[in-house]
Protein backbone atom coordinates (compact mmCIF):
# COMPACT_ATOMS: atom_id res chain seq x y z
CA UNK A 1 0.00 0.00 0.00
CA UNK A 2 1.18 3.50 -0.81
CA UNK A 3 0.12 6.40 1.41
CA UNK A 4 0.36 8.98 -1.40
CA UNK A 5 -1.83 7.30 -4.02
CA UNK A 6 -4.27 4.47 -4.59
CA UNK A 7 -4.85 2.31 -7.67
CA UNK A 8 -8.35 1.34 -8.78
CA UNK A 9 -10.11 0.11 -11.90
CA UNK A 10 -10.95 2.79 -14.44
CA UNK A 11 -14.47 3.68 -15.51
CA UNK A 12 -15.97 5.79 -18.25
CA UNK A 13 -16.26 8.67 -15.78
CA UNK A 14 -12.45 8.76 -15.62
CA UNK A 15 -12.02 9.54 -19.33
CA UNK A 16 -11.83 13.36 -19.07
CA UNK A 17 -9.32 13.22 -16.21
CA UNK A 18 -7.32 10.53 -18.00
CA UNK A 19 -7.15 12.79 -21.05
CA UNK A 20 -5.75 15.57 -18.86
CA UNK A 21 -2.99 13.23 -17.65
CA UNK A 22 -2.28 12.14 -21.23
CA UNK A 23 -1.99 15.77 -22.38
CA UNK A 24 0.28 16.83 -19.50
CA UNK A 25 2.52 13.79 -20.09
CA UNK A 26 2.68 14.31 -23.86
CA UNK A 27 3.52 18.01 -23.46
CA UNK A 28 6.25 17.15 -20.95
CA UNK A 29 7.76 14.58 -23.32
CA UNK A 30 7.79 17.08 -26.18
CA UNK A 31 9.58 19.67 -24.03
CA UNK A 32 12.18 17.09 -22.90
CA UNK A 33 12.77 16.13 -26.54
CA UNK A 34 13.00 19.74 -27.71
CA UNK A 35 9.90 19.51 -29.89
CA UNK A 36 7.62 22.53 -30.15
CA UNK A 37 4.00 21.48 -29.65
CA UNK A 38 1.16 23.76 -28.60
CA UNK A 39 -2.10 21.91 -29.25
CA UNK A 40 -5.56 23.26 -28.58
CA UNK A 41 -6.68 20.88 -25.80
CA UNK A 42 -10.37 20.95 -26.79
CA UNK A 43 -9.61 20.31 -30.46
CA UNK A 44 -7.18 17.52 -29.55
CA UNK A 45 -9.71 15.91 -27.23
CA UNK A 46 -12.37 16.10 -29.95
CA UNK A 47 -10.01 14.47 -32.44
CA UNK A 48 -8.66 11.75 -30.13
CA UNK A 49 -11.86 11.19 -28.14
CA UNK A 50 -13.24 8.44 -30.39
CA UNK A 51 -9.94 6.52 -30.22
CA UNK A 52 -9.76 6.82 -26.44
CA UNK A 53 -13.42 5.76 -26.13
CA UNK A 54 -12.71 2.70 -28.28
CA UNK A 55 -9.67 1.77 -26.19
CA UNK A 56 -11.68 2.23 -22.99
CA UNK A 57 -14.58 0.08 -24.17
CA UNK A 58 -12.28 -2.70 -25.42
CA UNK A 59 -9.72 -2.65 -22.62
CA UNK A 60 -8.64 -5.94 -21.12
CA UNK A 61 -7.38 -3.93 -18.16
CA UNK A 62 -7.89 -0.27 -17.24
CA UNK A 63 -6.46 1.12 -14.04
CA UNK A 64 -6.15 4.65 -12.69
CA UNK A 65 -3.97 6.08 -9.95
CA UNK A 66 -5.49 8.71 -7.68
CA UNK A 67 -3.90 11.02 -5.16
CA UNK A 68 -5.15 9.86 -1.75
CA UNK A 69 -5.53 13.40 -0.46
CA UNK A 70 -7.25 15.08 -3.40
CA UNK A 71 -8.73 12.17 -5.44
CA UNK A 72 -7.01 13.74 -8.48
CA UNK A 73 -6.23 11.22 -11.25
CA UNK A 74 -2.43 11.22 -11.48
CA UNK A 75 -1.94 8.33 -13.89
CA UNK A 76 -3.70 5.66 -15.90
CA UNK A 77 -2.94 2.64 -18.04
CA UNK A 78 -4.94 0.43 -20.38
CA UNK A 79 -4.20 -2.77 -22.25
CA UNK A 80 -6.02 -4.78 -24.90
CA UNK A 81 -5.85 -8.53 -25.36
CA UNK A 82 -6.62 -10.50 -28.51
CA UNK A 83 -5.65 -14.06 -29.41
CA UNK A 84 -2.71 -14.35 -27.03
CA UNK A 85 -1.44 -10.82 -27.67
CA UNK A 86 -1.44 -8.47 -24.68
CA UNK A 87 -0.75 -4.93 -25.81
CA UNK A 88 -0.14 -1.96 -23.57
CA UNK A 89 -2.27 0.61 -25.37
CA UNK A 90 -1.86 3.56 -22.99
CA UNK A 91 0.39 4.28 -20.02
CA UNK A 92 0.65 7.81 -18.67
CA UNK A 93 1.62 9.34 -15.34
CA UNK A 94 1.38 13.07 -14.69
CA UNK A 95 4.90 14.59 -14.95
CA UNK A 96 4.71 15.94 -11.38
CA UNK A 97 4.10 12.41 -10.08
CA UNK A 98 6.59 10.41 -12.16
CA UNK A 99 9.42 8.42 -10.54
CA UNK A 100 7.38 7.91 -7.37
CA UNK A 101 6.13 4.34 -7.92
CA UNK A 102 2.87 5.28 -9.66
CA UNK A 103 3.92 3.86 -13.03
CA UNK A 104 5.23 0.62 -11.55
CA UNK A 105 1.98 0.09 -9.63
CA UNK A 106 -0.14 0.74 -12.72
CA UNK A 107 1.99 -1.43 -14.99
CA UNK A 108 1.85 -4.39 -12.59
CA UNK A 109 -1.94 -4.38 -12.89
CA UNK A 110 -2.48 -3.47 -16.53
CA UNK A 111 0.33 -5.65 -17.89
CA UNK A 112 0.49 -8.51 -15.37
CA UNK A 113 3.45 -10.85 -15.45
CA UNK A 114 2.71 -14.18 -17.13
CA UNK A 115 -0.25 -12.89 -19.12
CA UNK A 116 -0.15 -12.85 -22.90
CA UNK A 117 1.82 -15.18 -25.15
CA UNK A 118 3.12 -12.04 -26.84
CA UNK A 119 3.53 -8.84 -24.81
CA UNK A 120 3.67 -5.71 -26.93
CA UNK A 121 3.78 -1.96 -26.92
CA UNK A 122 3.40 0.01 -30.12
CA UNK A 123 5.69 2.98 -29.82
CA UNK A 124 7.50 5.38 -27.57
CA UNK A 125 10.56 7.53 -27.93
CA UNK A 126 10.82 8.07 -24.16
CA UNK A 127 13.88 6.15 -22.93
CA UNK A 128 12.57 6.16 -19.35
CA UNK A 129 9.39 4.45 -20.55
CA UNK A 130 11.37 2.00 -22.68
CA UNK A 131 13.38 0.92 -19.64
CA UNK A 132 10.16 0.30 -17.72
CA UNK A 133 8.74 -1.75 -20.63
CA UNK A 134 11.85 -3.91 -20.89
CA UNK A 135 11.59 -4.70 -17.17
CA UNK A 136 7.97 -5.75 -17.83
CA UNK A 137 9.10 -8.36 -20.36
CA UNK A 138 8.67 -6.61 -23.69
CA UNK A 139 11.28 -6.79 -26.42
CA UNK A 140 12.07 -4.04 -28.93
CA UNK A 141 11.04 -5.28 -32.37
CA UNK A 142 10.87 -2.03 -34.30
CA UNK A 143 12.88 0.63 -32.49
CA UNK A 144 12.00 4.23 -33.23
CA UNK A 145 14.79 6.64 -34.07
CA UNK A 146 14.59 10.19 -35.23
CA UNK A 147 17.24 12.38 -36.77
CA UNK A 148 16.90 16.11 -36.45
CA UNK A 149 18.84 19.03 -37.84
CA UNK A 150 19.21 21.24 -40.83
CA UNK A 151 20.40 19.38 -43.94
CA UNK A 152 23.76 20.60 -45.19
CA UNK A 153 25.74 19.75 -48.31
CA UNK A 154 28.98 17.89 -47.66
CA UNK A 155 31.82 17.04 -49.99
CA UNK A 156 33.26 13.61 -49.34
CA UNK A 157 36.30 11.99 -50.92
CA UNK A 158 35.14 8.72 -52.42
CA UNK A 159 35.79 6.38 -55.30
CA UNK A 160 32.04 5.77 -55.63
CA UNK A 161 30.03 7.35 -58.40
CA UNK A 162 27.45 9.69 -56.90
CA UNK A 163 24.14 9.59 -58.74
CA UNK A 164 21.54 12.27 -58.12
Q: Return the CATH number at 78.
A: 3.40.630.30
Range of the domain at 33: 5-135
Give the per-residue pLDDT at 111.
85
145 part of a folded domain: no
User: What is the number of structural domains in the chain?
Assistant: 1
- Asked if 78 and 122 touch (Cβ cutoff 8 Å), the reply is no
Give the per-residue pLDDT at 25.
94
Neighbouring-strand partners of residue 7: 65
Under 8 Å CB-to-CB from 139, ≥6 apart: which residues? none
30 part of a folded domain: yes
Neighbouring-strand partners of residue 66: 6, 73
φ/ψ of residue 156, rounded to 5? -125, 130
143 part of a folded domain: no
List the chain pLDDT tens, one digit each, 164 residues. 678 999 999 999 999 999 999 999 999 988 988 889 999 999 999 999 999 999 999 999 999 999 999 999 999 999 999 999 888 889 999 999 988 899 999 999 998 888 888 877 776 767 777 777 777 777 666 666 666 778 888 888 888 887 87
- DSSP secondary structure string for all residues of 109-150: HHS-TT--SEEEE-----HHHHHHHHHTT---SS------S-
75 part of a folded domain: yes
105 part of a folded domain: yes
Amino acid sequence: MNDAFRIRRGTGADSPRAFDVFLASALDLMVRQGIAWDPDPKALQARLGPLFEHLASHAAEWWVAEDRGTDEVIGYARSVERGGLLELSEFFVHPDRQSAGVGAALLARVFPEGRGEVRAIIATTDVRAQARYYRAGTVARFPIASLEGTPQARVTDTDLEIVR
